[in-house]
Structure 1
Amino acid sequence: KVDMAGEVTVDALPYFDKGYDDPGVREAATAMVEEETRRYRPTRNYLNFLAPPNIHAFETDIMKNEFERLEARQPMELLSMRRYDLPIPPSGQRNDITAWEECVKNSHAQLQHQDVRIENLNLMLEHGSNAWRLYNEQLVAMLQDAQKQLQSIKKDIQDVNWERKSEQTKAGEKLRTLEANWVNLVSKNYEIEEAIFHLEVLAKTENAKMAQSHAENGKISLKVAEN
């Protein structure tokens, strides 16, 4: 229910209200929804009051470039393996010492890079298991903390539901008492009105009888006086 100020007032008591499973109730509610659905005809611009969506809010430069590539139907650039090659000097520089020196430097750089990778692998074999064990312990601690927060939130929700149920049950009992009093008062009013109606009818009948009796007595007195 919406009041004049636009505030929503919840006038339902879901923990107390009865009759939802009565025959015909669900069908009546469904019919009301369908009837309102038939009356609602959204226009093409019924969302104009909303701000335009920012479709680029989470778009990065990499994503933008990839979208442009897909739009242009260009193939994906393959991973370059050139740095792992050991090319020899071109055919025109096979006798050039400087060109061969560059190839040797490249070979040394490739070898050094492989040595670093091997060293990293050895370090991972030596310390990787402990690092992963510590990481897993951190994940377990994070999981336990999240579970505690979840249980706390569930408890808060349960407390709110119990409070709502208690308040609605009390309000429902009060409404039931007031409704019973109202029915009792209405019944008494009806009985009083019915009694008054019967008394009025009886009074009219008695008045008519008395008037008729007075009229007859008057006629008798008149005849006696004439004789």
Structure 2
Amino acid sequence: MPIANTYLEALPYIDAEPTAAERAAAEALILAEISPENQPSPTRSTPLTHPSLSPPIPLALSPLMSAEISRSAASPRTPLSAIDLSRYESPSQPSADTSLEESTAVLARAYAAHSYMRSRAVHLDLLDSHGKNAWLVGNWHLEAELKSLERELARVNREVDLITLARSGAQKDVEAEMKMLEEAWQKGISKTIETQVATAQLRAEILETMRMQTRQ
């Protein structure tokens, strides 16, 4: 059974959802902080690196390594032949006029190939006899570990859900008070601005009156 993804909620529940214009403005501010070379492009939908990350450290390669990398990049790619298939082939039988030394070398190679193939056959027989049981036991252990992790994940998810419900309840309990305080704050700001405007008008009237008295 695959482990389901977990999504955590951390945003407030009593705030209004941002409008499309507000979301676009926030995304524009985020893009403005990203350097031009790391911004999304038609061929890349996500930035390469975050602007807070330090620039990558340049590689300090020796001249020999640099030359080898250049040579490898310039040379055509060839298929990798990591497995030597000649060890699985029987050596050709020497002819009648072959010397004793050459025949001995061919016999030694044939003996080595035969010993290797015999050991491989024994290993395959053992794998066929006991490998299935070992594989099933390994799968059983992995399945038991997976179930244990899934139980732990379910427990943690339940704790997260309870915390989320507690957060939601706590915020909704003070939603009316928060709205009242926000309205009072807005009214206070509005009255402060009106008072400043009235003060500026009164100051202008006083200055105008003093100017007229000075002219008389």
TM-score when normalising by structure 2? 0.55
Asked if residue 158 in structure 1 is aligned to residue 196 in structure 2, the reply is no
Give 3-state SS (helix, strand or coil) of 2:53's partner.
coil
Counterparts of 1:5-44 in structure 2 under 5 Å? 14-18=12-16, 20=17, 26-30=19-23, 32-33=25-26, 36=29, 42=35
Amino acid at match of 1:16: I
Asked if residue 122 in structure 1 is aligned to residue 125 in structure 2, the reply is yes
Specify every segment of 5 or more residues in structure 1 that has no aligned partner in the other structure, as ranges: 1-11, 57-64, 187-227
Deviation at 1:38, TM superposition (A): 9.0
Match of 1:170 among 166, 169, 173: 173
Q: 1:50 to 1:80 in 2, by over 3 A?
A: same
Q: How well do the aligned residues superpose, as a CA RMSD in angstroms?
A: 4.2
For the residues of structure 2 that align with 1:144 and 1:68, how far apart are their CA atoms? 51
Larger Rg: 1
Counterpart contact for 2:88–2:117, Cα < 8 Å: no
Deviation at 1:105, TM superposition (A): 1.8
Deviation at 1:167, TM superposition (A): 2.1
Give 3-state SS (helix, strand or coil) of 2:19's partner.
helix
Match of 2:45 in 1: none
Counterpart contact for 1:13–1:168, Cα < 8 Å: no
Match of 1:87 in 2: 91
Match of 1:210 in 2: none
Q: 1:28 to 1:143 in 2, by over 3 A?
A: same
Match of 2:102 in 1: 99
Amino acid at match of 1:26: T
Deviation at 1:179, TM superposition (A): 6.1
* Identity value in percent: 22
Amino acid at match of 2:15: D
Counterpart contact for 2:91–2:106, Cα < 8 Å: yes
For the residues of structure 1 that align with 2:37 and 2:79, how far apart are their CA atoms? 39
For the residues of structure 2 that align with 1:161 and 1:32, how far apart are their CA atoms? 29
CA displacement 1:85-134 (0-9 Å, x = unmatched): 3334787x942112112211211221111111111111112111210110
Counterparts of 1:180-195 in structure 2 under 5 Å? 182=184
CA displacement 1:58-86 (0-9 Å, x = unmatched): xxxxxxx9997455323123242222233
For the residues of structure 2 that align with 1:15 and 1:108, how far apart are their CA atoms? 79
Count of matched residue positions in the alignment of Structure 1 and Structure 2? 160
For the residues of structure 1 that align with 2:166 and 2:78, how far apart are their CA atoms? 62
Asked if residue 50 in structure 1 is aligned to residue 53 in structure 2, the reply is yes
Counterpart contact for 1:86–1:103, Cα < 8 Å: no
For the residues of structure 1 that align with 2:131 and 2:31, how far apart are their CA atoms? 65
Deviation at 1:163, TM superposition (A): 2.4
